[in-house]
Structure 1
Amino acid sequence: MAVARPMRRTSPITFILAAFLAFGFLVFLLSPSPSAATTTNADSSQQRREGAAENPLSPPTKPFLKSQPVRDDGYQAPPPVVHYNLNSLTSTSESAVKGERVLILTPLARFYQGFWDNVVKLSYPHELISIGFIVPNTKDGNTAVAALEEAIGKTQSGPVDSRFASVSILRQDFDPPLQSQDEKERHKLENQKKRRESMSRARNSLLFTTLGPDTSWVLWLDSDIVESPHSLIQDLTAHNAPVIVPNCYQRYYNNDKKKWDVRPYDFNSWIDSGSAQSLAESMGPDDILLEGYAELPTYRTLMAYLANTDDPNPKRVMELDGVGGTALMVKADVHRDGAMFPPFPFYHLVETEGFAKMAKRLGYQAFGLPDYFVYHFNE
């Protein structure tokens, strides 16, 4: 009997290959998906790759990891044109989930190990954080830079997840008005105008040099803030406010109570008053209003005194007319729109209080968190 033509062309190898492919398909369907940790590590690596600078003209908020190719004639190829679409940049209440980049900026005259330890403990993804410092070009500044570089070196050579996207250190190109950084000297009334105008210049130099086109948030954090919640960035950005500031307190030993206690420290976050406005109207064009001095009774409502330390509600929010800069979170677009720290009397205000006024003139409201605390070093 003759065999059908199709059966004569069928080979046993065909059945073997079909069985092998079917087995492979089943293995693919039944194999477990990658673990959450693997996915997280992959996302972290991807974010670090996306954050890497591609040419020497990249802003200092990006780590420069790639070198330009050398052409056949031996010369280095010119850097490419880089395009940034600011319309796609977001600053939202879900900053960490959306991978929004944060720039921490710190004017630094003295180095406190507690400050750096506190920054390293921040739980916001470190690959999304860039840090910038500006230090006076003085003997004390040299000492501070040496200690700072040592601390940075340990962190940036440690575990990958602890490393920041980039760290920049700037040196001031002008002399500070005060040679002494003693707390009593810094806070004398007669030193405030020149000190705070100098601070404004330092803040602006730092801001304009380091603000990158992919920066969503700017956290101004003073170098003597040695304690804050590890979730500081997430907590502040969660309010989705253009400008927001926590309450700055200080821990100290209360001799009357014979135990450790807390007290207000920063009095620059306030609601304006009619008395302050009248006082400003009587001033000369170069005079400034300052808070916390008996010689200038402003009778403003100070956020420092509105805290409920017994039963705090960290999410309680209030509108402010002036802000302090000890821990100040700002949407980067507020700075891009022109709000900076006036080194001149702006409505008789300078530095951070002048910044709040300038931001408000641009249409941005400042907010405060009276029951959310960061702590200042106690000298």
Structure 2
Amino acid sequence: MYKSKRFRGRPIFILTIVGATLLLLFYLVSPSSSSSKTQKRPPPAIGGTKSINHYQLNGLQSTWRSFESHERVLILTPIARFYDEYWNNLINLNYPHELIELGFILPRGREANSALLRLEEAVKRLQTGPKKNRFAKVTILRQDFDSPFSQSEKDRHALSGQKERRAAMARARNSLFTTTINAGISWILWLDADIVETPNTLVQDLAAHNKPIIVANCYQRYVDHGENKIRAYDFNSWQDSDTAAQMAKDMGDDDVIFEGYAEMATYRTLMAYQYVAGNDVHEEAQLDGVGATALLVKAEVHRDGAMFPSFPFYHLIESEGFAKMAKRLGYQSYGLPNYLVYHYNE
């Protein structure tokens, strides 16, 4: 039978198309050598064994040989005003700066904005200066609420505003340490922003006592008729009394005892008045309440759950409530009556 030339090559043509299609499909579904290599690599930034860190917190030391054992210290400071004297005293601490991390928290508000600018400038100068002076890490936080009180010394210490003021301070402290503490920290030093003079051995001096919580005695320098004098300043470090215990029993659930006010005569033994010039600076006293002007805490105390209550806790709040909470967790607080640090005098 005669077939037209037009149809003679059609079977070959069809076979060619089918073969090309099969080759294309094979290429698409088969992994190339380069894609196989890519699949074997872990994701560049997420996952993989290199992103897993292991820490043995049981082996973390907080000892009396903190300096020699290279134990890491976190110094925490709530700031509303920036004092050059505080900053200069801080950077003159002779504990190795490479073992110190700093954390600051500031409230909202115009005055705190000014303090933030000065703090940032000071940090930038230090951290870009000679390497031996730099701290291992610096963290600056802003609170999400305004400071509820004036920063004048008179307003800060008025009894009428103590509950609100101390509650706000407790919230700031809790935000600060929960945000900045990490697995390598052995000690936390709470150092108030208006502490302008301490021994440059402050960290190792306090750590040498190897106590879970230990606080220095806070005084203030002043001039009286041309004569330089000192006076007790912080009254939050104390030993409890029967009078205060009875006072607490008669209070409502939301009432708080504040120390150092004639309106609330507790007759507690105040560490501020136990200072004796010339006596041993390492003499210890057991305490039931502590101030946080210069307070050294083993990091395990905070890790075990001790915080600064912003609510009435056994009729105590903030640092005094912290001492009570720590004691309920099994940690005794101590103070050094003859070891002085000095508060700014307005």
Q: What TM-score range do you get, normalising by the shorter chain? A: 0.7 to 0.9
Percent of aligned positions with the same letter in both sequences?
59
TM-superposed deviation, 1:76:
4.7
* TM-score (normalizing by structure 1): 0.79
* Amino acid in the other structure paired with 1:137: R
- Distance in structure 1 (CA, Å) of the matches to 2:342 and 2:113: 26
SS of the counterpart of 1:345? coil
- Partner residue, 1:295: 263
- Distance in structure 2 (CA, Å) of the matches to 1:101 and 1:375: 25
CA offsets 1:260-293 (integer angstroms, 9 cap, x no match): 1100000000000000000111110000000011
- Partner residue, 1:221: 191
Q: What root-mean-square deviation, in Å, do the aligned CA atoms of Structure 1 and Structure 2 show?
A: 1.5
TM-superposed deviation, 1:312:
2.8
CA offsets 1:70-102 (integer angstroms, 9 cap, x no match): x999x8522612211111210000001111000
- Partner residue, 1:94: 65
2:217 is the counterpart of 1:247: yes
Give the ranges of 4+ consecutive aligned residues of structure 1 lying more than 2 Å apart after TM superposition.
none
SS of the counterpart of 1:130? strand
- Partner residue, 2:159: 189
Q: 1:361 to 1:154 in 2, by over 3 A?
A: same
- Distance in structure 1 (CA, Å) of the matches to 2:134 and 2:200: 16
* Amino acid in the other structure paired with 2:265: P
* Amino acid in the other structure paired with 2:245: Q
Matching residue within 232, 252, 265 for 2:202: 232
Q: Which has the larger radius of gyration?
A: 2
Matching residue within 313, 320, 323 for 1:346: 313
Matching residue within 256, 270, 275 for 2:243: 275
Matching residue within 356, 365, 368 for 2:335: 368
- Partner residue, 1:107: 78
- Distance in structure 2 (CA, Å) of the matches to 1:262 and 1:141: 29
Q: Which runs of 5+ in 2 are unaligned?
A: 1-38
- Partner residue, 1:47: none
CA offsets 1:186-223 (integer angstroms, 9 cap, x no match): 11100000000010000000010001111000000000
* Amino acid in the other structure paired with 2:308: F
* Amino acid in the other structure paired with 2:272: A
Aligned residues: 305
TM-superposed deviation, 1:129:
0.1
- Partner residue, 1:82: 53
- Distance in structure 2 (CA, Å) of the matches to 1:150 and 1:350: 34
Matches within 5 A, 1:115-126: 115-126=86-97
SS of the counterpart of 2:122? helix
* Amino acid in the other structure paired with 1:233: V
* TM-score (normalizing by structure 2): 0.86
SS of the counterpart of 1:371? strand
- Distance in structure 2 (CA, Å) of the matches to 1:221 and 1:191: 22
- Partner residue, 1:17: none
- Partner residue, 2:141: 170
2:99 is the counterpart of 1:131: no
* Amino acid in the other structure paired with 2:342: Y
SS of the counterpart of 2:196? strand
- Distance in structure 2 (CA, Å) of the matches to 1:144 and 1:176: 13
* Amino acid in the other structure paired with 2:62: S
CA offsets 1:229-265 (integer angstroms, 9 cap, x no match): 000000000000000001000000012xx31110000
* Amino acid in the other structure paired with 2:176: L
- Distance in structure 2 (CA, Å) of the matches to 1:142 and 1:82: 37
- Partner residue, 1:330: 297
Matching residue within 269, 275, 282 for 1:307: 275
- Distance in structure 2 (CA, Å) of the matches to 1:316 and 1:347: 29
- Distance in structure 2 (CA, Å) of the matches to 1:141 and 1:269: 28
- Distance in structure 1 (CA, Å) of the matches to 2:221 and 2:111: 26
SS of the counterpart of 1:171? strand
* Amino acid in the other structure paired with 1:351: E
- Distance in structure 2 (CA, Å) of the matches to 1:315 and 1:136: 35
SS of the counterpart of 2:146? coil
SS of the counterpart of 1:370? strand
Matching residue within 276, 283, 286 for 1:316: 283
* Amino acid in the other structure paired with 1:87: N
SS of the counterpart of 2:103? strand
CA offsets 1:343-373 (integer angstroms, 9 cap, x no match): 0000000000000000111110000000000
- Partner residue, 1:266: 234
Q: Which has the higher contact order (CA 8 A, sep 6+)?
A: 2
